[in-house]
Structure 1
Amino acid sequence: MQNQTSNFDMKMKLIHGFSNKTRIQILECIKEEEKTVNQIVEEIKGSQSNISQHLACLKGCGIIVGRNEGRYMYYSLRNQHIRDLLSMFDVVLEDVENDVACCDRHID
C-alpha cells in the first residue's frame, strides 16, 4: 500500500505543476521553441519575478529544462511527452468544455 500511496503523491506533485494559469501560459509559450525569461515575460505579460518563481517550480518538478548560453538561460519543455500531454489537455478539453465551464467546484 505504501508504494501505491507514494505513486499517488508523485502524480499529485506532477499535476500541481500544471495547476496554475501562469504555469500553463509559460508551458504554452515554450511549447514549440525554447525561450529566455525575458521573452516569456514579454509574451505572457507577467512580472519577471513571478515568471521566475513559476519557472523554478516547473523546472523543480521536471516539466521543463533550462540551458545556459552566455548570460541567458533558455527554457524548454523537458521532452516530447510533456508536449504530447499539453496537446492531450486540449483534446480532452474539447470533449468536456461545457461541463468545465459550468463547474463551480474548481479552485482558482
Structure 2
Amino acid sequence: MGQNYLDVKAKFIRGFSDKTRLQILECIKNGEKTVSQIVEELQGNQSNISQHLACLKGCGIIVGRQEGKYIYYSLRNEKIKEMLELFDEVLNQVQTEVAQCDSHLY
C-alpha cells in the first residue's frame, strides 16, 4: 500500500467523520431524497446541508440524480449502506470505550 493510496483512503474515511454528514447518510440510507427533504428531516440549514452533500459527493459516498429542477441524492451503492450498518454493529461493541476516549484529535 503506497502513501498516495493511504492519503486517498484517509480522505474517504473523513467523509464519514462529521455528525451532519452521518445524519445525511442515515436520512438517505433507505432511499433517495432531495435537498429540501433532507433539510426538512434534519431541521438543518440548506446552505450547510448543501455543503455537506457536496463533500459526500466529492468523496464518492453519494450520487445525485437530476430530475427536472430537483436533484435526488442517494448512497452510491449497497456497499456504502452495508458499511454504515457495519459501523453501527462495531460501535455497539465499543461504544463505552469510544464515549470515554479523550486521546483522539478532533
TM-score, normalising length from structure 1?
A: 0.94
Specify the alignment match of 1:46 in structure 2. 44
107 and 43 in structure 1: CA distance in 2 versus 1, 3 angstrom threshold: farther
> Following superposition, which runs of at least 4 residues in structure 1 exceed 6 angstroms of deviation?
none
Percent sequence identity is 64
Per-residue CA distance 1:7-32 (angstroms, 9 max, x = gap): 11011010010010000000000000
Question: Aligned equivalents of 1:59 and 1:10: distance in 2?
Answer: 15
Number of paired residues?
106
Specify the alignment match of 1:78 in structure 2. 76
Unmatched 5+ stretches in structure 1 = none
CA RMSD, aligned part only? 1.0
| 2:11 is aligned with 1:13 | yes
Amino acid paired to 2:32 = E
Question: Aligned equivalents of 1:107 and 1:24: distance in 2?
Answer: 19
Specify the alignment match of 1:102 in structure 2. 100
Question: Aligned equivalents of 2:8 and 2:101: distance in 1?
Answer: 26
Question: Aligned equivalents of 2:44 and 2:6: distance in 1?
Answer: 32
- TM-superposed CA distance for 1:4, in Å, is 1.2
Question: Aligned equivalents of 2:90 and 2:2: distance in 1?
Answer: 26
Unmatched 5+ stretches in structure 2 = none
| 2:47 is aligned with 1:58 | no
Per-residue CA distance 1:28-58 (angstroms, 9 max, x = gap): 0000000000000011111000000000000
Specify the alignment match of 2:90 in structure 1. 92
